[in-house]
Chain A
C-alpha cells in the first residue's frame, strides 16, 4: 500500500478547523424562520451585480497594468510598481469612506476647490471602489505569469510579421488567461466578503444585510443569510479549483522599449487610478488632520493592530506549509487545500458571528486575543497557502533528489533545500496575511477583547459617531503600516526581469 504523504494528517486537521465556522452556522441557522424571500432576491441581485462589475473592472485595470509594469522598460519602474500595487495595502473601506465624503454635492472637493463632482453611492459607486482596490490581485497574478513567460515567443511572432498588440493578444493572452482568471476570482471573493464598502456606500449586499440582522439580534437570520452567501462563495471556489497552474518552461521575460511620448502617455493613463485610489484618500485624511487635529487617538491602538496581525501572519504561515505540501502531494491534499480556501470567502462578519458563538461555548477562548487571531488565521490562511504553494510548485523536484542522493534525509532535504527555496513564498504569504488582518474590520469589532481597540475598530467607532474628521490618524496609520507590509511583499516577488542581462 502506498504511504500517505507526511503532510496529510496536519493538512486534514487544518482543513477540519477551517470548516468549523460552517457547521456552527448551520446550528445557528436551524432556528431561522425565513429561508428565502423577495428581500433576499434583491440582496442576491445586488451582490451578484457587484461581483460581476468588480471582476470586469479589476480585469480591465489589472491586465494592462500588469503588461505595463512587467514588459515595458520604464523609468523608476520599481516606483510605479509600488504605486500601482499600493491599493492592495489600502483597506477598501478607507477608500469608500474618503471617496464618499470627498465626492458629491457638499463633499470635501466641492467645499475646498469649488468643483462639483458626482456623488458615489449604491451599485456603481461600490463597483468603482471595489475595482480600484481589487485590481492589484489581477495585476499581481498576471505579472507573476507574464514574468515566467518566455519573451522570445512574442519576439518570434513579431519577427514573423505580427504587430505587437496582435502578438500580445494571440500569443500572450491565451497563456496568461488562467492567471488573469485566478486574480479575477480573488477579486470576486473579496467583493463577496467585503463589508465596509457596501456598508458605507449603502448597497444592500449580503454582508451589509447580515450586519443589520446581527445588530437587531437576529443571529439565526444572519446565519441563514451567511449560508446563502457561502453557497455563492462555494461556486466561485469551485470555478477557481478548475483552473490549472501554468506548466510552461520559463524563459527570459519580454522587454519593450517604446518611444518617450508613448511612455508618457502610458504612465499618464495610470494617474487617475493612483489619484483616486491613493492620493485622494491620503489628501482627505491630511485635510482632516489639519482641520481636526489628533483627537482622542491613542498610539496603543496601532500596536494592538500590528501585534494581532503579526501573530496571525506567523500562525498562518506555519499552518500553510503542511497544507501547501499536501496540495502538491496528491488529489486528497488538493481537496484539503480547497477546503482551507473557504475561510477567504467567509466574510469577517460571518466569521465573527460563528466564532462569537464558539466563544460562548468555550469559555477558555471567550473574549481573548487568541480567538481574534484564530478568526484572522481561518480567514486569511488561503493567502499564505497560495503563495507557499506557488513557490513550492516551482521548486525543481530534482533539487530535492540531488540532496537525497548526496546523503540528506528527507527532513534535512526539506530544511536545507525546500525551505530556503520557498522562503520567499512564505514571506510573501505572511505579508499578505498581515495586510489583510490589519484592515479586517467586522471580525475585529466582534471578537476583540473588551477595551482592545485597534486602528480599524477606532475608525469604525468615529465613523458611527459621525466624527469622521477624527479618522485622520488611524486612517493614515493604517495606510502607512500596510504600505510597509507591501514593501516586504514586493521585495519577495524578486528582482527578476529588471536587469537586462546580456547573453
Chain B
C-alpha cells in the first residue's frame, strides 16, 4: 500500500506540487491527468526520489521518505516507465530487461508475455516505438518493483498503436499485481485505463475518484471541461429537477443546492432535430468523426443572457450542415452535474 501524505514539492521558491494526498491499493492503477505544467511529472519524480520534496511524506511498506529524510531511488524498489523509454542504447533488449537481475526467469516471462521474443538480441535503436515501450515495461516489471510509475508512456507513439498498447500495459500491470501511477495528458487514456482518476490543476488534486464519477459528477468546471466536451446551460432548480429553455433534467445535488445553476451538458445529453418546428439555434460548425458528427450550435439570443454555445454529438446519418436551423432538446434520464451560477 503506497501512502502519500501532504506531499509538496518546490523548485527554488516556486511551489509546483501542493499538499497531495494519495493512497493506492495493492494492484490499483491510478491515472494522474492534467494540463501541461500541472505538476504531474513532478509528482512521479518525487515518488521515485528523483527530486527532493519540501514537505509531507511518502510511505511504502518498509520505507518512509520525508523532506528531511530522503530515501534514494535505488532503495525504494520503484519501477518507472519513461516517456522516452530510457532504454540503454549500448545494451540489447535481453540485457536491458535483465539489467540488475541475477535470475533471468522473470525477464523471460515478461519478454514472452510482451511478445518480444524475436528481438532479444536487437539493440534499442532497431526497434519501433511500440516495441521500445514494451521493452521498457518488461524491464520495469521483470525487476519486480513494489510500485510502478508511468510517465506519459504512450505520448511518443503513433496514434494507431496507442489503443492496443495502453490495454496491453494495463493487462501487464494487473498480471504483475502491483500498484501503478500513470501520468497522462490524454483524457481518453485516463478514463479508459485506470481504476481511479486523479485530475490535477496547478499542483493540486482537483478530483480523485473512479473514471465514471469524475466524468459524470465532476466537482468543478475545470474537471468537467478537462475530461471531455462540456457545455454549460443556465437553468432553475425545483426540488431535484433543473429546468432550462431547452428542456429539463434531474440535477445532481452533491455539488450545490443553489436555485440558479449551470447544468453540465455532455454532447450525448442533447437531441438535435434539423428544421424542426421549434427551432432554437443555428449550427456553427460540424466535425465529422467517422461514426458520429460533433456539432456546435449557438442558441438564439434572449435578453439578459450571454450567448450560449452547446456541443452535440449526432449520428453520421444526420447530415447536418453549418448555418442550418436546428432544434435542441435535452435528452437524458440520468442526473446531470450542476454548478452554482456565478
Give the residue name and chain of the A residue nearest to B90 (CB): A174
B74 touches A155 (CB 8 A): no
Known: A152-B82, A155-B73, A174-B90. A160 touches B42 (CB 8 A): no
Give the residue name and chain of the B residue nearest to A502 (CB): B37
- Is B313 interfacial (CB-CB < 8 Å)? no
The number of A-B residue pairs with CB atoms under 8 Å apart is: 77
Q: Mark A243-258, 1 if CB is under 8 A from B, else 0.
A: 0000011010001010
Secondary structure at the A interface, as helix, strand, loop or mixed, is loop
B139 touches A257 (CB 8 A): no
Number of interface residues of A (CB under 8 A): 25
Give the residue name and chain of the A residue nearest to B136 (CB): A156
Give the residue name and chain of the A residue nearest to B45 (CB): A155
Distance in angstroms between the alpha carbons of A162 and B73 in the assembled complex = 9
- Is A161 interfacial (CB-CB < 8 Å)? yes
Distance in angstroms between the alpha carbons of A160 and B97 in the assembled complex = 10
Known: A174-B90, A500-B11, A502-B16. A159 touches B79 (CB 8 A): yes
- Is B244 interfacial (CB-CB < 8 Å)? no
Distance in angstroms between the alpha carbons of A157 and B312 in the assembled complex = 48
Distance in angstroms between the alpha carbons of A157 and B77 in the assembled complex = 12
B51 touches A257 (CB 8 A): yes
Q: Which of B23-47 contact A (CB under 8 A)?
A: 36-37, 39-42
Which of B36, B82, B89 touches A248 (beta carbons < 8 Å)? B89
CB neighbours of A164 from chain B (8 A): 72, 74
Distance in angstroms between the alpha carbons of A161 and B51 in the assembled complex = 17
- Is B48 interfacial (CB-CB < 8 Å)? yes
Interface residues on B, range: 35 or more
Q: Which of A149-173 contact B (CB under 8 A)?
A: 150, 152-153, 155-164, 171
CB neighbours of B40 from chain A (8 A): 503
Known: A159-B48, A159-B79. A153 touches B86 (CB 8 A): yes
Which of A155, A502, A503 touches B86 (beta carbons < 8 Å)? A155
Give the residue name and chain of the B residue nearest to A153 (CB): B86
B88 touches A158 (CB 8 A): no
B112 CB to nearest A CB, Å: 20
B100 touches A160 (CB 8 A): yes
Q: Mark B173-195, 1 if CB is under 8 A from A, else 0.
A: 00000000000000000000000
- Is B76 interfacial (CB-CB < 8 Å)? yes
Q: Mark B45-59, 1 if CB is under 8 A from A, else 0.
A: 000111110000000
B143 touches A251 (CB 8 A): no
CB neighbours of A255 from chain B (8 A): 51
Give the residue name and chain of the A residue nearest to B148 (CB): A159
A149 CB to nearest B CB, Å: 10
Distance in angstroms between the alpha carbons of A502 and B82 in the assembled complex = 15
- Is B197 interfacial (CB-CB < 8 Å)? no
Q: Mark A54-74, 1 if CB is under 8 A from B, else 0.
A: 000000000000000000000
CB neighbours of B16 from chain A (8 A): 502
Distance in angstroms between the alpha carbons of A162 and B41 in the assembled complex = 22
B132 CB to nearest A CB, Å: 11
Known: A502-B39, A502-B42. A160 touches B99 (CB 8 A): yes
B80 touches A159 (CB 8 A): yes
B52 touches A163 (CB 8 A): no
Q: Which of A316-367 contact B (CB under 8 A)?
A: none
CB neighbours of A152 from chain B (8 A): 82-84, 86
Which of B41, B48, B74 touches A161 (beta carbons < 8 Å)? B74
- Is A404 interfacial (CB-CB < 8 Å)? no
Distance in angstroms between the alpha carbons of A152 and B88 in the assembled complex = 10
Which of A160, A249, A500 touches B143 (beta carbons < 8 Å)? A160
| Most B C-beta atoms less than 10 A away, residue of A156, A248, A500 | A156
B79 touches A259 (CB 8 A): no
- Is B332 interfacial (CB-CB < 8 Å)? no
- Is A175 interfacial (CB-CB < 8 Å)? yes
CB neighbours of B72 from chain A (8 A): 158, 163-164
CB neighbours of B83 from chain A (8 A): 152
Distance in angstroms between the alpha carbons of A164 and B77 in the assembled complex = 14
B150 CB to nearest A CB, Å: 12
Q: Which of A171-226 contact B (CB under 8 A)?
A: 171, 174-175
B11 touches A159 (CB 8 A): no
Not counting A160-B143, A255-B51, a sample of 16 additional A-B residue pairs whose C-beta atoms are within 8 angstroms of each other reads A152-B82, A155-B48, A155-B73, A155-B86, A156-B82, A160-B74, A160-B140, A161-B100, A161-B143, A162-B99, A259-B70, A502-B11, A502-B39, A503-B37, A503-B40, A503-B41
Closest 8 CB pairs of A and B: A158-B73, A152-B86, A156-B86, A159-B80, A152-B82, A257-B52, A503-B36, A159-B78
